[in-house]
Amino acid sequence: MSAARVALGMLELHLPEVGSLKGKRQILKGLKDKVKNRFDVSIAEVDHHDSWQRATLAVACVSHDSRHANEVVDKALDFVEASVEGDGYVIDRTVEIR
């Protein structure tokens, strides 16, 4: 039996056009729903909960193959980056395999 592999991607976003926590939550909720449905990953806001214009999202994928998990997370992060264009931009991006 092979061990499961987990890829964890983190994106720190700056959303300069957002004027309230409610506005930020609306953007993130729609984005998280799209990412979950499209890539079958777990995604959550993990930092900057009380900041209007910043958010850190974590995306996780569990697989028997670390290369597959990494590819899925990379594609999900690329999708998030493309989706926030116009509303904001990525400050930092990391991916880790365990």
The CATH number of domain 5-97, selected from 3.30.70.1120, 3.40.50.300, 3.30.300.30, 3.40.605.10: 3.30.70.1120
Q: What integer is the mean pLDDT of 65-91? A: 95
98 is written with which tokens? 């365990």
Q: How confident is the model at residue 42 (pLDDT cuts 50, 70, 90)?
A: very high
Confidence (pTM): 0.93
Helix ranges (DSSP H) in the chain:
21-39, 66-84
Q: What integer is the mean pLDDT of 2-8? A: 90
pLDDT of residue 1: 55
Q: What integer is the mean pLDDT of 70-74? A: 98
DSSP string, 21-34: HHHHHHHHHHHHHH
Q: d(Cα 42, Cα 77) in Å, to the nearest integer?
A: 12
pLDDT of residue 87: 85
Q: Would you call 11 helix, strand, or coil by DSSP?
A: strand
Are 23 and 54 contacting, i.e. CB atoms less than 8 angstroms apart?
no
- Domain assignments of the chain as residue spans, ordered by start: 5-97
